[in-house]
């Protein structure tokens, strides 16, 4: 699908994150084929994967992967700099509004709560306007109230983009997913 929210569910160690990393070109695979936008990734060289990740994919990691000494604004701009683009102040403001954090744009990452950091990670993934957003346990380190806020933001994004989420949270999947894929021992069941 081009839009919607797909949950990949499974227990710890089942292969969920590995599948997400293979889809995103972070890990290689040796069997099968992955086709995204009509293109097979089988023959991709490293530079092809780099271009693919920078153009089509936005990543949201469980551990946020933000630069603690940078400001919120600098962290978000970094995603575009990798594409040799620059974010305008209006773009930063728009994206921070989407994740309800306009008031923290100048603050350092190390001054923020876990929920704020995750919303900044979402903003960073979205600023480059990817077609697909890959989220690895995006609520895994958050309390349930903050987690629900993150699910709502991702669900809203899924109206315009394909959001693929790896999670063990079946309850949230039943509420927010348009499609659920379950994995057990590396196999889709």
Name the pLDDT band for 52 (thresholds 50, 70, 90): confident
pLDDT score recorded for residue 37: 77
Please classify residue 125 by burial: count the beta carbons closer than 10 Å to its beta carbon, then call 0-12 exposed, 13-18 middle and 19+ buried: buried
Q: Which CATH architecture has domain 4-188?
A: 3-Layer(aba) Sandwich (3.40)
Going by DSSP bridges, is the β-strand pair 35-36/39-40 parallel, antiparallel, or unpaired?
A: antiparallel
pLDDT score recorded for residue 160: 95
Average pLDDT over residues 137-155: 92
pLDDT score recorded for residue 109: 96
Tokens describing residue 52: 């693919």
Mean pLDDT computed over every residue of the chain:
92
| Residues 100-143: tens digit of each pLDDT | 999 999 999 999 999 999 999 999 999 989 999 999 999 988 88
The CA distance from 36 to 95, in Å, is 26
Average pLDDT over residues 149-162: 95
pTM for this model (two decimals): 0.90
Average pLDDT over residues 86-98: 92
State yes or no: pLDDT of 82 exceeds 90.
Answer: no
Lowest-pLDDT range of 48-62, 67-81, 122-136, 156-170:
48-62
State yes or no: pLDDT of 28 exceeds 90.
Answer: no
State yes or no: pLDDT of 55 exceeds 90.
Answer: no
């Amino acid at each position: 699908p081009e839009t919607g929210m797909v949950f990949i569910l499974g227990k710890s160690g089942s292969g969920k994150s590995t599948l997400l990393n293979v889809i995103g070109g972070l890990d290689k695979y040796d069997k099968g084929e992955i086709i995204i936008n009509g293109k097979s990734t089988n023959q991709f060289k490293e530079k092809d994967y780099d271009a693919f990740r920078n153009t089509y994919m936005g990543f949201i990691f469980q551990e946020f992967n933000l630069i603690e000494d940078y400001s919120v604004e600098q962290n978000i701009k970094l995603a575009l700099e990798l594409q040799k683009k620059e974010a305008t102040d209006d773009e930063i403001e728009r994206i921070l509004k989407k994740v309800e954090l306009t008031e923290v744009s100048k603050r350092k990452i190390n001054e923020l709560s876990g929920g704020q950091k995750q919303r900044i990670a979402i903003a960073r993934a979205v600023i480059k306007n990817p077609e697909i957003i890959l989220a690895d346990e995006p609520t895994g380190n958050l309390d349930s109230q903050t987690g629900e806020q993150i699910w709502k933001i991702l669900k809203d994004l899924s109206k315009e983009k394909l959001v693929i989420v790896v999670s063990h949270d079946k309850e949230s999947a039943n509420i927010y997913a348009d499609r659920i894929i379950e994995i057990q021992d590396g196999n889709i069941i």
